[in-house]
Amino acid sequence: MIDVKRTGENIKRIMMIHGMSVKDIQEFLELSTSQSIYHWFDGRNLPTLDNLYALSELFRIPVDAFIKGNREYEYDQTENAAYRRTILYYEKLVQLKAC
């Protein structure tokens, strides 16, 4: 079973890890308002499959990494080598901008 509340919290966590705002997600998904995104966060409903796929492309993680439920295996983004490289590049970029 999908845990709607935990899934919404996970989407919010992934978004924050990537430094994106609700407005960024709204614009990327071409949503007219941000209300549906807040509904995801609160566990009131889930994103559509189309939106999950788009978020998957945006964050470069599998669709099922967003979904939380009763599955024993949880996708850990930090295990992904590409993700670790991206974080390193981002940290170097931030350091260069600070100079």
Overall number of domains in the chain: 1
Looking at residue 87, its pLDDT comes to: 75
* Residue 68 belongs to a domain: yes
* Residue 55 belongs to a domain: yes
| 25, 15 Cβ separation under 8 angstroms | yes
* Residue 84 belongs to a domain: no
* Residue 39 belongs to a domain: yes
Mean pLDDT of 16-36: 94
* Res. 76: pLDDT tops 80: no
* Residue 98 belongs to a domain: no
**Element holding 39 (H helix, E strand):** helix 35-42
* Residue 88 belongs to a domain: no
Model confidence pLDDT, tens digit, residues 90-99: 788 888 877 7
* Res. 72: pLDDT tops 90: no
Q: Furthest-apart CA pair in the chain: how many Å?
A: 49
Mean pLDDT of 28-57: 95
pTM of the model: 0.68
Looking at residue 49, its pLDDT comes to: 94
Residue 62: give its domain's CATH number: 1.10.260.40
Q: Which domain holds residue 47?
A: 4-73
Nearest residue to 16 (alpha-carbon basis) of 6, 5, 25: 25
Looking at residue 57, its pLDDT comes to: 92
